[in-house]
Amino acid sequence: MARDSFVTHLACGLTGEQFASDVLQRVSSAGKPLLVRYDLAAIAQAVRREQLTQREPSIWRYRELLPLPLDQAPISLGELMTPLLSLPAETADLKLGQVLVKDESRLPTGSFKARGLVMAVNMAALFGVRAMAIPTNGNAGAAMAAYCARAGIAVHCFCPSDTPTANLREIALHGATLHRVDGMIDDCGKLVAAGEREGKWFSCATLREPYRIEGKKTMGLELAEQLGWQLPDAIFYPTGGGTGLIGMWKAFAELAALGWIAGKMPRMYAIQAAGCAPIVRAFDQNERFATRWEQAETVAHGIRVPAALGDFLILDAVRESGGAALAVSEQEIRTAWQDSAKRDGVLMCPEGAATLAGLRIAHTRGLVAPGERVVLFNCASAYKYDLPDIYSAT
């Protein structure tokens, strides 16, 4: 008889304290993120990596490494594998072996938030949740609204008042109740938490439930498979709450334990805007935890996160990998945004452009070597943002 899943338990990311996986959980007793743990030895016996190519090209090809029971049909909007695009002009300029962009704009709702939210909504539905809420800078709310619409779950999205209009309209079109807040995303989070305490909904705030990270983990699983189970030398990731960076680092550890990858892990670079860089400050000061960034401001709304619950997990991954946390200026973001489109034909979102700006800083500092292969993450469609007005009519 097939197993329901290979999940064994949940564990606190800070203390290691274990929690049951068969009931709805939030954070650990220490108030820190819970991580899903699997019976990796049993997975190694159940599936070989070569079998994956016979499955549909979606995040669901990795079912054994995901928490949704194997006999449960997923609530899905078609989460296909996203392509790796080359930046040949940038590769030549920096004398690197290859600069690749993993283009997450191809996912449902146009951003990588679909990966995390499809998993969180599936698991919430499995546990009987009927209402959910999320603090969001836009893309996460749009993704949750879409999946909750499909699942028949009521949803409330709390957004900063200056969230891009395209995101607000998208959230509303999916039928979510939209709350605009005069403040930052962590101010929105306080309202979501208060409502959860009152029993109004289940909070799906970043890392305040265990499953968004499992969906984001598939970025690392896909990347390894797409590169022939040879990981890149470095990964540059736009970092706000950091779920994807933490998830990829978790994915690489699980793949290594399965024997599906071997050798050196990639250096992880957490890229933040200079106007909101709590992780960079903690990294530079050799701190384990980050303090809140006051008066946060950046055109890259998705990484405007003044405080991250998983700060220590981000910093652990960066340090263990030999990477760094780097801050980029608004001008560097805008220049990279325009350059990637004009020189290589890849129109990134501002957060994606921030990773290119981060790569350029890393190159200047000697943090990447000639001939290395690096991967940047473009986390959303540029069309969900106000594009720079630089045209001149003739």
CATH says 84-108+212-384 is which class? alpha beta
pTM confidence score = 0.95
| Confidence check: pLDDT of 3 > 90 | no
Whose tokens are 């962590």? That residue is: 186
Please state, in angstroms and rounded to a whole number, the distance separating the CA atoms of residues 213 and 216: 5
Return the pLDDT at 387: 79
Residue by residue, DSSP assigns 160-177 as ETTS-HHHHHHHHHTTPE
Domain ranges for the chain, please list them: 84-108+212-384
Residue 180 in tokens: 């605009």
- pLDDT above 90 as % of the chain: 96
- pLDDT above 70 as % of the chain: 98
3-42 burial, b for 16+ CB within 10 Å, e for fewer?
eebbbeebbbbbeeeebebeeebebbeeebbbbbbbbbee
Return the pLDDT at 386: 82
Please state, in angstroms and rounded to a whole number, the distance separating the CA atoms of residues 293 and 266: 28
Per-residue pLDDT band at 385 (split at 50, 70, 90): confident
| Confidence check: pLDDT of 257 > 80 | yes
Rounded mean pLDDT, 336-363: 97
Which has the closest alpha carbon to 329: 285, 365, 276? 276
Q: Indicate the SS3 state at residue 37.
A: strand
- Residues 234, 269: contact at Cβ < 8 Å? yes
Return the pLDDT at 2: 42
- For strand 131-135 and strand 98-103, is the pairing parallel, antiparallel, or unpaired? unpaired
| Confidence check: pLDDT of 1 > 50 | no
Q: Where are the beta strands (DSSP E) in the chain?
A: 7-12, 18-19, 34-38, 84-86, 98-103, 131-135, 154-160, 177-181, 202-203, 234-238, 267-273, 324-328, 373-378
Please state, in angstroms and rounded to a whole number, the distance separating the CA atoms of residues 293 and 275: 9
Angle (CA) 28 32 34, round 5°: 60
How do residues 11-64 score in pLDDT, each as one tens digit?
999 999 999 999 999 999 999 999 999 999 999 999 999 999 999 999 999 999
Run of H or E including 48: none
Q: Indicate the SS3 state at residue 276.
A: strand
Residue by residue, DSSP assigns 308-358 as -TTHHHHHHHHHHHT-EEEEE-HHHHHHHHHHHHHHH-----HHHHHHHHH
How do residues 56-103 score in pLDDT, each as one tens digit?
999 999 999 999 999 999 999 999 999 999 999 999 999 999 999 999
Residue 2 in tokens: 């097939």
